[in-house]
Amino acid sequence: MKLTDKIVLAYSGGLDTSVCIKWLKEKFMADIITVTVDVGQKENLEEIGKRAQQIGAIKHYLIDSKEEFVKDYVFPSIKANALYESKYPLSTSLSRPLIASKLVEIAEKEGAFAVAHGCTGKGNDQVRFEVTIKALNPKLKVMAPAREWNFSREQEIKYAKEHGIKIEPKKSVFSIDQNLWGRSIECGPIEDPEVEPPLEAFEWTKPLNEAPEEASYVSIGFEKGVPITINGEEKKPVELVSNLNQIAGMNGVGIIDHIEDRLVGIKSHEVYECPAALCLIEAHKDLEKLVLTRHELFFKEIIDSQWAWLVYSGLWLDPLKKDLDAFINSTQERVSGNVRIKLYKGNYRVVGRSSPYSLYDMNLATYGISSKFDQSLAQGFIELWGLPTRVAYSMLSKMKKE
């Protein structure tokens, strides 16, 4: 029997969203249409579609958004040197507004009255999905079954068994979310912040004792803030990021161990593998230092951290993001050139940079005698530079004595 009401569900293939299919169908007597957006999670996405239909979805969409993800979400984040709390490259966060926009697109196409996702009430993703969906289409109802039913894992398994949902053997104790920009790892032993994350948590990053004994060098070419070449060879966006994940990961580079402040107020222990992201942001920051003035750099740091905060907190569509992008894009006009990184057993370090817009002037910087920097001017500079400090210090000292 075909039902008239339709609900579009973001489907990952995991237990939560599988249970969602049945639960939504029963509760709302609606047809469930599942959507999986490929942002480079490297899972068997064909199988996931089949599973959705076996459980009871009337239709499944698999949308390949890898290129769009890298071009329109990851690249702007490189321009913004986006690291939430100075550490996390926003891999999961960046994918959410994109997935949300696809859900809305399908819901509109299918004439669905609601969009559902499998997030619980404790994380950031619920906020990112819902803020974006509601902004894009205020008429759509948003449902978060997992937040509503509040099942424990055991209850969830019981429900699944009772409803004929095949339970796939759990691949690991961790909760994983991955895409081209990184792999987020939570749960299991990682919940104790005092405990070192076990080796089994990592898939993209080689343990240091297995990393090559010789350093690898990789040269990244940027144009207007966007990476376009690796070792002089032009690469398409998806290929560029995948290649760097591979090269850096092989050298043990990519692990981030982070005490993170979630939007909902919880501190959590999050572990990530983001080999390409760490290298690209480090290289990009370095190139900016070569071509931007100190005033631009100083101000951009403030803008960059605001950008990361906005994206982390689910406000991709807030006009402020566009405003920040306008400033950032203007600074990126001159961020073109090459950056060479040395990778060795978990270390990554910029060891060379060049740009046609370089502000580095050897004639000014050199300690050799040929410098055109007139040192005699320094004396007067120091007089004026230190004037306010000297005045204040002398006043305060006098007051102390009195």
Give the number of residues in contact with ligand ARG, rule: CB under 6 A: 10
Query: Which residues in 57-116 contact ligand ARG (CB under 6 A)?
Result: 92-93
Distance CA 194, CA 208 (A): 21
Residues 6 or more apart whose Cβ sits within 8 Å of residue 32? 6, 7, 9, 21, 24, 25, 56, 57, 58
- Residue 374 is among the residues annotated as catalytic for this protein: no
Q: Are 355 and 290 in contact (CB under 8 A)?
A: yes
- Active-site residue identified among 16, 31, 177, 286: 16
Contacts 24+ apart (CB under 8 A), 316-323: 316/96, 316/97, 316/128, 316/131, 316/132, 317/97, 317/131, 317/132, 317/135, 317/136
Q: How far is the CB of 22 from ligand ARG (least distance, A)?
A: 21
Is residue 177 a contact residue for ligand ARG (CB under 6 A)? yes
Q: Are 8 and 33 in contact (CB under 8 A)?
A: yes
- Residue 325 is among the residues annotated as catalytic for this protein: no
- Residue 16 is among the residues annotated as catalytic for this protein: yes
Residue 145 structure tokens:
């079954």
Q: Output DSSP code: residue 88.
A: B
Q: How far is the CB of 217 from ligand ARG (least distance, A)?
A: 31
Interacting span for ligand ARG (CB under 6 A) from 152-160, 169-177, 335-343, 381-389:
169-177
Q: Classify strands 114-116 and 141-143 as parallel, antiparallel or unpaired.
A: parallel
- Active-site residue identified among 38, 72, 147, 175: 175
Query: Which residues in 183-212 contact ligand ARG (CB under 6 A)?
Result: 184, 186
- Active-site residue identified among 125, 177, 286, 304: 125
The candidate with the shortest Cα–Cα distance to 19, out of 147, 131, 132, is 147
Q: Are 13 and 118 in contact (CB under 8 A)?
A: no
Residue 246 structure tokens:
């591979």
Residue among 101 and 124 whose Cβ is closer to ligand ARG: 124
Residue among 33 and 90 whose Cβ is closer to ligand ARG: 90
- Residue 96 is among the residues annotated as catalytic for this protein: yes
- With CB under 6 A as the contact rule, the residue among 31, 68, 130, 260 that binds ligand ARG is 260
Residue among 79 and 128 whose Cβ is closer to ligand ARG: 128
Is residue 270 a contact residue for ligand ARG (CB under 6 A)? yes
Q: How far is the CB of 11 from ligand ARG (least distance, A)?
A: 15
Contact set with ligand ARG (CB under 6 A):
92-93, 124, 175-177, 184, 186, 260, 270
Mind telling me the catalytic residues?
16, 96, 125, 175
